[in-house]
Structure 1
Amino acid sequence: MVIYRPLTRSELPDDTASLARYLVGKLVVRELPEGIASGRIVETEAYVVGDAAGHGYRGMTPRNRSLFLDAGHAYVYLAYGISYMLNVSSEMPGVGTGVLIRALEPLEGIAIMRHNRGIERLRDLARGPGRLTQALRIDRSLDGLDLCRKGPLWLATDSRESDEMGESVRIGISKDADRLLRFYVKGSVFVSGSKSLNG
């Protein structure tokens, strides 16, 4: 059993890129009727102020309003009509920036994740943003949730020292695509993306 505590809002850096770095090594905890499923964050992407690739770039809409909440809230959206994406709002209320959680190293509830994903291979359970939301059964019903308190979905720490971190350009975007705003654990087999990005 993993022992962890919720992250407090006061612990979160108030800059989006700093939060993206900070969240690498922290945990995502999902409480489900059949038990707890959790994973260590091994990859994030920052979508910063003035970022043309960010969903908040053109202002608040009914779809993205959770991105404009105080730091530490869930912004969940459906990408390409296929996969849900889990983001963490990252700055002051009204700013509209966030951190995409791109990949997890599964820790607890692995049988639950395997059932949700319909696969056995541990490495592929949560390697990529759509896979991790499927593994943890995250959908729009969790949009706007406060991730800094225990509940159906929350962020945690187990006080483990973070591993060596790499950075690269973000994956699958066309606007502001050259910015080094993707952060990942070097050498982790649970990180998504190509080998050239993860050197």
Structure 2
Amino acid sequence: MLSAYQQFFTGRPTTAIARDLLGKLVRYQGPDGEAAGYIVECEAYLGENDSASHAYNGRRTNYSESLYGQPGNIYLYQIRAHYCFDIVVQAVNEPQGILLRGIEPAIGQALMHEHRGVTGVSLTNGPAKLVQALGIHSRELDGQPLEGNQLTVALDQFKIPREIIATPRVGVNLSGKDGKKPWRFYVANNPYVSGMRKREMDLETHGWRD
């Protein structure tokens, strides 16, 4: 029996879940304090039939095993020296996920600066940047549930985007079957979206509704 929290992450298209994650608060209670930020950018990966997915064509390894777990679980994976944070969605053995690509700092900004050694929008405007800013430096939480965890998404703490933009995903093989699908979603004009041009940034409301 799924909890009400887990039910948020299943029972509807992964693209719809990704859109609904925008504005939700990601929180991490690390050994040196709490850091948190509102999700402003994410990407949907639709499992075994998605040419950009880690599970494409049924590929299943020890490394990606957590992607096949319960909805609302954590999938932390490493690319070179960097870690990325994916949320498992859909039913067990249906390996779909949502990659967090950008967050707007909300709690523990000084701690985030300490973790990253930078200030400004480059603090959290990318998937590896936001994980490092939160203070996560290993795959220790991989496969664990978000619910009640030190790393969680607070579904009841959120901002509402004024507009959501959909584009192709970043860094995937564009010549692949699904390479150009518009499965990247972000809060329009938010400064912490990766690649957001300065002239397009809304520095007053950051793209949120009043």
TM over 0.5: yes
Q: Residue 45 of structure 1 aligns with which residue?
A: 43
- Residues 41-69 of structure 1: CA distance to partner in whole angstroms, max 9, x if unpaired? 00000001310110011332100011111
Within-5 A mapping of 1:45-84: 45-49=43-47, 50-57=49-56, 58-79=58-79, 81-84=80-83
SS at match of 1:114: helix
Distance 2:5 2:179 in 1: 31
SS at match of 1:53: coil
Contact 1:87/1:99 (<8 A) preserved? yes
SS at match of 2:186: strand
Q: Residue 124 of structure 2 aligns with which residue?
A: 126
Distance 1:73 1:122 in 2: 30
Q: Residue 27 of structure 2 aligns with which residue?
A: 29
* Residue identity in the other structure for 2:42: T
* Residue identity in the other structure for 1:89: V
Gaps of 5+ in 2: 202-210
Matched, 1:12 2:9: yes
Runs (4 or more) in structure 1 with deviation over 6 Å come to none
Distance 1:159 1:33 in 2: 25
Alpha-carbon shift at residue 160 of structure 1 (Å): 3.5
Q: Residue 170 of structure 2 aligns with which residue?
A: 171
Distance 2:166 2:145 in 1: 27
RMSD of the TM alignment (CA)? 1.8
* Residue identity in the other structure for 2:6: R
Q: Residue 208 of structure 2 aligns with which residue?
A: none
Within-5 A mapping of 1:81-120: 81-119=80-118
Distance 2:123 2:196 in 1: 17
Distance 1:98 1:171 in 2: 15
Distance 2:196 2:190 in 1: 12
Q: Residue 193 of structure 2 aligns with which residue?
A: 191
Distance 2:196 2:181 in 1: 17
- Residues 49-101 of structure 1: CA distance to partner in whole angstroms, max 9, x if unpaired? 3101100113321000111111111111111x121110001110001110000
SS at match of 1:142: coil
* Residue identity in the other structure for 2:149: G
- Residues 133-172 of structure 1: CA distance to partner in whole angstroms, max 9, x if unpaired? 111122311111201x222200113153333111100001
SS at match of 1:141: coil
User: How many residue pairs end up in the alignment?
Assistant: 188
SS at match of 2:61: coil
Contact 1:37/1:136 (<8 A) preserved? yes
Match of 2:135 among 125, 134, 137: 137
Contact 2:10/2:91 (<8 A) preserved? no
SS at match of 1:151: coil
SS at match of 1:78: strand
Contact 1:106/1:126 (<8 A) preserved? yes
* Residue identity in the other structure for 1:152: Q
